[in-house]
Structure 1
Amino acid sequence: MLTQEQANQFASHWIQAWNSHDLDEILTHYAEDVVLVSPVAVKILNDSFGTVQGKAALRDYFKKGLEVYPDLKFELLDVMWGIFSVVVYYINQKGLKAGELMELSSTGKITKVIANYNG
């Protein structure tokens, strides 16, 4: 079971990795068989399902995202935690709020992400 302290540490490290724009550091959080579903993926990948499957595909998607948004920056607003999941609630570089539900494996790697945005 995930503790509140573990969830907060995870979210803080996740935000720091994204703000560093270090793709390898970002990817340390994700499992090999990760699935990500995001409205941003619809736009960047021109894929109506907005789904990215597997870490190799995720690397390509994140690389494109960092190129499309060179000023990307996240500010952590809140962290919610469950038994095997975390919701990271943040503001992005556009001032829009986002919440990402992340299911975690027993090793603490993200296996599924469902991203939601308010704008």
Structure 2
Amino acid sequence: MKIALSSQGINLDSPIDPRFGRAAYFLFIDSQSENIEVVDNNLNVNAAHGAGIQTAQTVINKGASVVITGNVGPKAYGVLQKSGVDVITGATGTCRESFRHYKEGRLKSAQGPTSVPHSG
């Protein structure tokens, strides 16, 4: 299974990015091998609009089954849910800590979006 974490940096010791659509990077971790692929989300960080939907599509295209982030808006949440991606929000601390908490079963799936859409 592949897990996507919104990240402010390029390694597991980077802080979780509290923004989904405008996260600086995504770390895609294979839950078995723990191999990591880093994806720069720069195109969506500065997008005038649609960042959440575009980022959700990237996560889906990379084959993630789970996304761990701070917050996610309603449009991105809808796209992820429709594609069967488990969305976990409220993550804080480092990516390493969040990944460990996920493996330990300490993180729960979101029941809906946690932020409002941005205008523009």
TM-score (normalised: structure 2) = 0.27
Normalized per residue, the structure richer in strand is 1
Q: Rg larger in 1 or in 2?
A: 1
Higher helix share: 1
